[in-house]
Copies of this chain bind each other. A is one copy, B any other.
């Protein structure tokens, strides 16, 4: 930090719904954007973008760092068996080192693919080590500590709410003042949390000014079980236990009733859409155009590596578009709306719209440079079309967070990629053995 950075000769695309500026520049001072447009300036570090696209860093909401190391486990299973047979046993088997390694892997994949901010949901233990990893890797975001007191017969992940709050107190004390990271409160979902847990969690979050994060209405079977248990549809139920409002972020919302949609809009509750996971776990197609039309803030995320199998916002953008077209017709969900969800929608979701999501003076300098001249992108046309349908994560040439270059010329600047690979292999093996799955 401290050194000025100038990106010049770029196709600067400052915001999803604004036009791009040819031969544009962005000046960064002290990690913040100091100037955007057509100008010349001096700086300590000058990058010639060679006409490539400079845009806001992508923001993935609803992502499980602790599951990155589960990639490829539990293929071809629907949600509830997939949770009980694979994901929960692996989460329960995590130790400090495997959480740190998994979160490091998730952050590395995000940096490589142009994701600069996130809202993660971790497991019920060792969340400290997800913070350590994200701190080291240099991203901006919110890490949700997971709360589960009822686990439907899977006891090892059940934690009393009082113990969970004590863990949150410790996380707040250690990480509450971090310049890039924040603590979130994440009661997992209605089927693994008691009503009391949800209520206490939401009270705690409001007392401390923290964001709430949970899953809702991902699959029909889950919606039915919640109805049997509570007499209510999922969003209605969550509302009844304090889990609605501008500080509440709900993952999925695939299966919702009209009155639930109205409730989401009225309470300004956020929807975190995960197209790949909804496809792969056969959950269904969320009514995203309807949500956007109702004024609900929608963002995008890759969910977890075991249900996806990548943490790649480019893939999520493409699949977000394709899934609505097959549902509603070829005109549905234009590319610009998708880029908006992947940037500004994410910033609003994590309450950082004054800091992130666009390239504007005073905001954090979180930006990516994306190649528009690859063989699979040319002839290059509208930046939104390119970003959603032609470009891939591998086209990200440079990832910048708070003015720091985290990825450049095919290399990560903040960590040793070979060491991470070796750690991932070692901890995956040990984890599978501890979980009894190898």
Q: A280 near B375 (CB under 8 angstroms)?
A: no
Q: B280 near A322 (CB under 8 angstroms)?
A: yes
Q: B373 near A393 (CB under 8 angstroms)?
A: no
- A71 touching B390 in the complex, CB below 8 Å, given contacts A378-B425, A421-B373: yes
- A105 touching B378 in the complex, CB below 8 Å, given contacts A82-B330, A330-B77: yes
Q: A378 near B73 (CB under 8 angstroms)?
A: no
The tally of residues in A whose CB lies under 8 Å from a CB in B reads 64
Interface check A354, CB cutoff 8 A: no
Interface string of A55-75 (1 = CB under 8 A from B): 000000000000001011101
Interface string of A255-292 (1 = CB under 8 A from B): 00000000000000000000010111111110000000
Q: B376 near A112 (CB under 8 angstroms)?
A: yes
Contact of A72 among B285, B328, B385, B417 (CB under 8 A): B385
Interface check A424, CB cutoff 8 A: yes
**Residue in A77, A330, A334, A417 whose Cβ sees the most chain B Cβ within 10 Å:** A330
**Residue in A69, A282, A284, A382 whose Cβ sees the most chain B Cβ within 10 Å:** A282
Q: B424 near A378 (CB under 8 angstroms)?
A: yes
Interface check A40, CB cutoff 8 A: no
Give chain B nearest CB distance to A91 CB in angstroms. Answer: 16
Q: Which segment of A144-152, A159-167, A173-181, A305-313 sits at the interface?
A: A305-313
Q: Which residues of A contact B (CB under 8 A)?
A: 69, 71-73, 75-79, 82, 105, 108-109, 112-113, 276, 278-285, 308-312, 319, 321-323, 325-326, 328-332, 334-335, 373, 375-382, 385-386, 389-390, 392-394, 417, 420-421, 424-425, 428
Q: List 21 A-B contacts (CB under 8 A).
A: A71-B379, A71-B390, A72-B379, A72-B382, A72-B386, A72-B390, A73-B381, A76-B330, A105-B378, A109-B376, A112-B376, A279-B326, A280-B325, A280-B330, A282-B329, A282-B332, A308-B389, A309-B389, A319-B322, A373-B421, A379-B428
